[in-house]
Amino acid sequence: MIVAPSILSADFSKLLDEVREVTDFGAEFLHIDVMDGHFVPNITMGPVIYQSLKKKVNAVFDVHLMITDPLKYAKSFVDAGADIITFHYEAVDDVLSTIAEIKKLNVKVGISIKPNTDVEVLKEYLPYLDLILVMSVEPGFGGQKFMPVALGKIAYLAEKKKKMKYKYLIQVDGGINIETAKLCKDVGCEVVVAGTYIFKSQNRAETIKELMNL
């Protein structure tokens, strides 16, 4: 299991130490939650927050754009060091051209769906994606409860991936702890995002190890 700590739950007064710690403990991805106060009812961070970390941290910078106009800002996020740009299906009119434009920036491209969005809307885009992020909470805030509706979607994506030999990674985000991560793993999830569970843990090394070894 690839572990992607969400820095939204880190202590921003010592962000570099926080991020170094979780990557030293084995987290391969760093999940960066970008919210614009429009697509979701919260405002978080822009590219300046992580561009200074990029040279100092060895991780895949996994940028989750919860914003209304992902293409307008994609290049700034790439220039700041994003390795993967994930946008929301619900935010764009033309999914295929959004995928194509992000690919032109030489990064991996992911798409995310909210809990109320049917996974089958993604069917025609599956061959072109590097990552699919299934939201298991309403995007907007850390610390919410896992919604089991994500499980059927993960299973669907895992089955399609196997059958069609697609290359995308299947990621889940929201309310992840060891129990919910196990449920996701059992239906084919490959990357878990966890904010509260990792950063508020008393023993981060152990928490990350447990998730990795699921």
Residue positions annotated with a catalytic role: 33, 173
Question: Which partner in ligand DX5, Zn ion, none is near 197 (CB below 5 to 8 A by kind)?
Answer: ligand DX5
Specify the residue, 29 or 168, whose C-beta has the smaller distance to ligand DX5: 29
Question: Using CB under 6 A, which of 197, 204, 210, 211 touches ligand DX5?
Answer: 197
Question: Using CB under 6 A, which of 195, 204, 208, 211 touches ligand DX5?
Answer: 195
Residues in contact with 187: Cβ distance below 8 Å, sequence separation at least 6, in sequence order: 151, 152, 154, 155, 158
AA letter at 102: I
Q: With CB under 5 A as the contact rule, which of the stretches 17-25, 57-65, 121-129, 160-168 interacts with Zn ion? A: 57-65
Q: Does 194 help bind ligand DX5 (rule: CB under 6 A)?
A: yes
Can you read off the two tokens belonging to residue 184?
């996701």
Q: Does 110 help bind ligand DX5 (rule: CB under 6 A)?
A: no
Q: Does 70 help bind ligand DX5 (rule: CB under 6 A)?
A: no
Question: Which partner in ligand DX5, Zn ion, none is near 117 (CB below 5 to 8 A by kind)?
Answer: none
Q: Does 33 help bind Zn ion (rule: CB under 5 A)?
A: yes
The answer to whether 120 touches 140, Cβ cutoff 8 Å, is no
Cβ neighbourhood burial of 154 (10 Å; 0-12, 13-18, 19+): buried
Q: Does 64 help bind Zn ion (rule: CB under 5 A)?
A: yes
Q: Cα(11)–Cα(15) distance, rounded to whole angstroms?
A: 6
Estimate the crossing angle of helix 70-79 against helix 95-104, to 10 degrees: 20
Bridge partners, 63 (sequence order): 32, 85
How many C-beta neighbours within 10 Å does residue 169 have? 20
Question: Using CB under 6 A, which of 139, 151, 154, 207 touches ligand DX5?
Answer: 139
Tokens 């429009």, located at residue? 38
Residues in contact with 17: Cβ distance below 8 Å, sequence separation at least 6, in sequence order: none
Q: Does 33 help bind ligand DX5 (rule: CB under 6 A)?
A: yes
CB of 163 to ligand DX5, least distance (A): 29
Residues forming the site for ligand DX5 (CB under 6 A): 6, 8-9, 31, 33, 64, 137, 139-140, 142-144, 173-176, 193-197
